Amino acid sequence: MSELLANHIAGRWQTGSGSGTALFDPVLGTELVRVDAGGIDLPAAFQRIRSEGGAALRALTYAQRAAMLAAAVKVLQAHRDTYYEIATANSGTVKNDSAIDIDGGIYTLSTYAKLGEGLGAQRALLDGEPSRLGKDPLFQSQHVRVPRRGLALFINAFNFPGWGLWEKAAPALLSGVPVIVKPGTPTAWLTQRMVKDIIDAGVLPACALSVICGSSAGLLDALEPFDVLSFTGSADTAAVIRTHAAVAKRSVRANIEADSLNSAILLPGEGPGSEAFDLFVKEVAREMTQKSGQKCTAVRRVLIPENQYDAVAEALRARLSKVTVGNPRNESVRMGSLVSRAQFDSVRSGLQALASQTETLHDGAAQALVDADPQVACCIGPTLLGTRRADEAHLVHDTEVFGPVATLVPYRNSAHAIELARRGLGSLVTSIYGSDPAALGAAALELADSHGRVHVVSPDVGASHSGHGNVMPQSVHGGPGRAGGGEELGGLRALDFYHQRTAIQASTSVLSSFTL
């Protein structure tokens, strides 16, 4: 039996009481490690984290906590090679895809370390200017933001075990709120190792950072009113969380990121040979294959003018046919595997459902695997579907296949394209491609109400844009409706979730006496 990973909770390492759940190499099928969290006294552990970890963090200024994050960055950078090895073995990702998770997480942590430096020697934040409450200016209202005196519980998805930890933990720790992360079980090894390295280095106060691997049973039951909860995962699990007593009765503040049928839109007037057309095809192909399509921000619906359906299909086929799929240890491979057999089966099931309303334009299942046994490896090549009945093919707008799958959807005019994008009922991101600044700007504003992020690509930023699916810490991440209604990152905006905004009504002399 493989090693049972320890959990770090309330300042000490604890192994679960059971034999654990095995994590596997999704390409070779070999067992790697096991995870288990059974037998841990969660209420007692949570209380110690609140009282000790929270107090220790709040005793520091924002600048001191920023220095703490900067120290954590150095620790993670020193262990990058180990993280890449774990990602290859446990997530089945090629090096470039592992970098998105590992280096992306370190970059995000580094960004918040730098942002925190600018907040200086404060332990609370003013929010706006004082406002008069009457004709006499003596009595005024000043809003302040103070760190919440609870803990932050993160229940994360399997696809980003590195970045998913740090994009949430960085603003939480900078805010002065202790963190517990429950990583997605299939890829929990990387999260656990990163936390272990930080704990071993001693750069954080005791009880400031905890990791629980395995089942999430009992975690929500242990939450109290001043805690916060951030969840990334399926809409079905999100629905359970919203009705749990911690959220529904104890008013635990919750941030949810769920399903998202993201779109990429080629504006009218762009055809083969135009810069915008080429940028569009390149980015859609990249989004389909990066991390084997296992990104919450990946392009699922490819919206194109009716008269460009065949041209876009052919251009995408040409790119996708060159993508080598298989064992990420082989240098010729450009796309690795899905993370598990369960995920492989889910993608195959989703493809079967979409097949009833689409045609297959490029069949990833027909591609030969490189250095991998198709009977064992959880690999599937990029698959491009298409429908010429954009309005009637409701499954395309309702079903997210979490893998290297996208569907070509033609539109009649710009208004129809926007209508189809909104059929996703709220998405994390849409991207728009064209060369007319006015048309691009108008479309971006039209789509802003139903998307957390609108990524606009014109020829002048063709070499410098950050990418449709790349989540940058400077911009908000989240989306309305189906996408969960949550919001993360966005620079210092992320700190709002971990602070309490309060109006203090007092005389000007009292308000001017504040020592933050």
Decide if 213 is catalytic: no
Beta strands 228-232 and 359-362, pairing class: unpaired
Bridge partner residues of 147 (DSSP)? 499
Burial of 100 (0-12, 13-18, 19+ CB in 10 A): buried
Place of tokens 């410098």: 464
Report the alpha-carbon distance of residue 130 to residue 139 in Å, rounded: 10
* Consecutive H or E run containing 3: strand 3-4
Bridge partner residues of 302 (DSSP)? 264, 408
Q: Which of 213, 296, 378, 379 is catalytic?
A: 296
Q: Which of 167, 257, 400, 446 is catalytic?
A: 257
Q: Which two tokens mark 78?
A: 């020193």
Q: For residues 21-53, b (16+ Cβ closer than 10 Å) or e, as one string?
A: bebbbbbbeeebbbbbbeebebeebbebbbebb
Report the alpha-carbon distance of residue 335 to residue 324 in Å, rounded: 6
DSSP states of 71-117 as a string?
HHHHHHHHTHHHHHHHHHHHH---HHHHHHHHHHHHHHHHHHHHHHH
Report the alpha-carbon distance of residue 183 to residue 161 in Å, rounded: 6
Beta strands 3-4 and 405-411, pairing class: unpaired
Phi, psi of 180 (to 5 degrees): -120, 125
Place of tokens 């096991």: 34
Decide if 257 is catalytic: yes
Q: Which of 128, 133, 427, 99 is nearest to 257 (CA)?
A: 427
* Consecutive H or E run containing 228: strand 228-232
Which residues are tagged catalytic? Answer: 257, 296
